[in-house]
Structure 1
Amino acid sequence: MRRRTLLSSLTALTAAALVLTGCGAKAKDDPSPAGGAWSYTAGDGKTYTADKTPKRIIAHAYAAKALMEFGIKPVGIYADGKVGADVGLKGVDFTGVTILGEEWGKIDAEKAVTLAPDLIVADWWPVEKVYSGQEEGVEDSAKKLAELADVVGPAQGDSIVGVIEGYAKLAESLGADPSVIAAARGKFEEAKTRFQAATAAKPNLTALAIGPYDNTYAIAVPKYAPELLDFQKWGLKVIDPQKPDPEFPYWESLSFENADKYQPDVLLFDDRNHPGNQEKLAAQPIAKSIKAYAAGAMTTWPAYWLHTYSDYTAQLDRLTAFIQGADENIGD
């Protein structure tokens, strides 16, 4: 269970990639810009510069959504699943944008060559030390995308706000209107204030973020889920599971027989797989032993996809209303 490998011959692709790479931005380990017309310090710690501001951008779908909120539209995107079914891409108009892949680890790199990109944009994942779309396990041909132009983007860290701000900074460097960014940021700050007021009124409310699937009761580890870390910082007591999986510490995986190990006041289901994951738990005899489930104290959490101020504003307001109606004594 992840947070969330084309063609047999790549001779022509490799040749084209080498030509296009020479036209792209240049990375420098030294964080000081070298006087280029465009510069951006990415999540990998490198500063990228170019003589001209990049215009032809290929982006991971979530990164594309972030840029588009600020008026920067890519020429191509690649997604981890079907664009129309992805909860994190609802409402995005990708008309005129070439879709290069709708399955994790698969990117049509030959089609990407025809787009002549001068920049690739995606999240940097510090745990894996790689950008989205270049992780271990993706198809070799998908990795050829990084040969077409430099890959940049903000790092996932201990706050979604940091990721969004990283994209705002990148968008501004690419020509976004600062006033549009400021307006979106202001609405978000108001929503955050409302969320904090709701949690302050329920200081003992505990929550468990879960993603039941197959034969596993998966519990999210806030350390690797920046939205959950934000909720903790803003007053919601999201439970930290005791024994994260050694090989993939984003989760603690329990058998359903042990699913009542933690007794929170509310359950937060991974919204990427909802309602299927809630139905999975409902089918288990143990469900009635989980007090929050028995009480119907359940909602969803925005799992790993938040990249824009508008989405975060909407999610915080939804959760604020839920918290205001929650009982902080269920898990006792």
Structure 2
Amino acid sequence: MSSSSPSPRPSRPTRRGLLAVGGALGVGAALAACGGKSSGGASGTGAGEKSGPWSFTDDRGTKAGTKSLPRNIVAFTGMAAALHDYGVEVKGVFGPTRGKDGKADVQAGDLDISKVEIIGNTFGEFDVEKYAKLVPELLISDMWEKDKLWYVPEKSAAKIASLAPQVALWASQTNMEKALARRAALAASLGADLEAPKTVAAKSRFEKAAARLRAAAKAHPDVKVLIGSASAELFYVSLAKMSADTLYFQELGVRFVEPKVDKAGFFEALSWENVGKYQADIIMMDNRSAVLQPQDIADKPTWAGLPAVKAGQVVPRVTEPIYSYAKCAPVLEDLAKAIESAKKVS
């Protein structure tokens, strides 16, 4: 699979291409949150009023700065959705935004996609000319590999970087809790009020959901979870510790299948004939629009014969979470519920 392709192919994929498909990514290194609550923000962000210079040090250790609070912000779709939950709006997005049916992609969250300029909608797609016309003041994206901004094509990365300061925050090499803190800090620097009742309530819900998942895992230590992603030719089994969300679940006590990963370390690719290699009680399936969903593979006998499938214990996995407390709390609640109600079938 080429690095520009969002879907798996039988040919040996590149590391960056694999990241675009799904499964688990990165390794767990702790990153401290920087920045803090701001007293307000510019009208262009959807927050309050603020004047003076702005700066933020990202997870590369790079300090981005502007003479005033950025108004023309362009962000990876999932990042834009997270900022939206804190009241910070962007002018443009890149990444999965609009589906073939015209509706918002799952990664767009609560964004009104009719009000943002879509710079690119698929992996490898980024309209530099359209980006430049927005007169961008800041570009923000996730980072799955060191110093590489997610969905920013390498072939045009230098040109894109020359047009505006950039901020990159880990979506791997950290856990969900730290990823959330970093995005909240960024939102605060851009004018979000982290003490707003809605935000405080969302964080409280997240903390309660984390406690519930920890309790569920402790009460059902024999329940084993497999992280899966499907293409027409292959079934991918991911390693939990390689992604911020599943690493956090693992830290809370969830027991995961541990595949024999390839040299890149992210996941093991299985032929459909060998899809039953690992036994599991719950299967978490990649929910992104670029990959096949359970209903798409229902006619594959080896899939249909899996104990977890026969038991109806297949649940969606939000493979690229929107890192706001409001969006991550339900993710934890859903997994806790699945573990609490799971039958031991492996």
TM-score (norm 2): 0.78
Cα distance in structure 2, aligned partners of 1:267 and 1:273: 18
Correspondences of 1:62-211 after superposition (within 5 Å): 62-80=78-96, 82=98, 84-125=103-144, 127=145, 129-136=147-154, 140-141=155-156, 144-156=159-171, 157-180=173-196, 181-211=199-229
One-letter amino acid of the counterpart of residue 108, structure 1: D
> Does 280-289 or 102-111 show the bigger shift?
280-289
Q: Describe the superposition over 1:278-322 as per-residue Cα deviations: whole angstroms up to 9, x where unpaired.
A: 245432232355222232221111112332211111122222222
Would the aligned equivalents of 2:245 and 2:321 in 1 still touch at CA under 8 Å?
no
Aligned partner of 2:71 among 23, 41, 55:
55
Number of the residue aligned with 1:216:
234
Provide the secondary structure at the position in 2 that maps to 1:121. Answer: strand
Number of the residue aligned with 1:245:
262
Provide the secondary structure at the position in 2 that maps to 1:59. Answer: strand
Name the structure, 1 or 2, with higher relative contact order (CA <8 Å, separation 6+).
Answer: 2
Structure 1 outlier segments of 4+, above 6 Å: none
Cα distance in structure 1, aligned partners of 2:142 and 2:107: 14
Q: Tell me the matched-pair count.
A: 293
How much has 1:174 moved relative to structure 2? 1.1
Higher-Rg member (1/2): 1
Cα distance in structure 2, aligned partners of 1:135 and 1:251: 23
Number of the residue aligned with 1:311:
327
Task: Indicate the percent of aligned positions where both proteins have the same amino acid.
Answer: 29
Would the aligned equivalents of 1:106 and 1:142 in 2 still touch at CA under 8 Å?
no
How much has 1:204 moved relative to structure 2? 1.4
Number of the residue aligned with 1:45:
61
TM-score (norm 1): 0.81
Cα distance in structure 2, aligned partners of 1:72 and 1:147: 24
Change (3 A) 1:291 1:321: same
Correspondences of 1:223-234 after superposition (within 5 Å): 223-234=241-252
One-letter amino acid of the counterpart of residue 145, structure 1: I
Cα distance in structure 1, aligned partners of 2:298 and 2:290: 12
Cα distance in structure 2, aligned partners of 1:226 and 1:211: 17
One-letter amino acid of the counterpart of residue 196, structure 1: R
Change (3 A) 1:270 1:299: same
How much has 1:213 moved relative to structure 2? 1.3
How much has 1:86 moved relative to structure 2? 2.0
Number of the residue aligned with 2:271:
255
Would the aligned equivalents of 1:108 and 1:142 in 2 still touch at CA under 8 Å?
no
Q: Describe the superposition over 1:108-157 as per-residue Cα deviations: whole angstroms up to 9, x where unpaired.
A: 211221211111111122x3530113354xxx456532221011032222
Cα distance in structure 1, aligned partners of 2:174 and 2:151: 21
Aligned partner of 1:284 among 300, 306, 310:
300
Number of the residue aligned with 2:35:
none
Q: Aligned-pair RMSD on alpha carbons?
A: 2.3
Would the aligned equivalents of 2:241 and 2:250 in 1 still touch at CA under 8 Å?
no
Q: Which has the higher helix share?
A: 1
Number of the residue aligned with 1:29:
none
Cα distance in structure 2, aligned partners of 1:252 and 1:143: 33
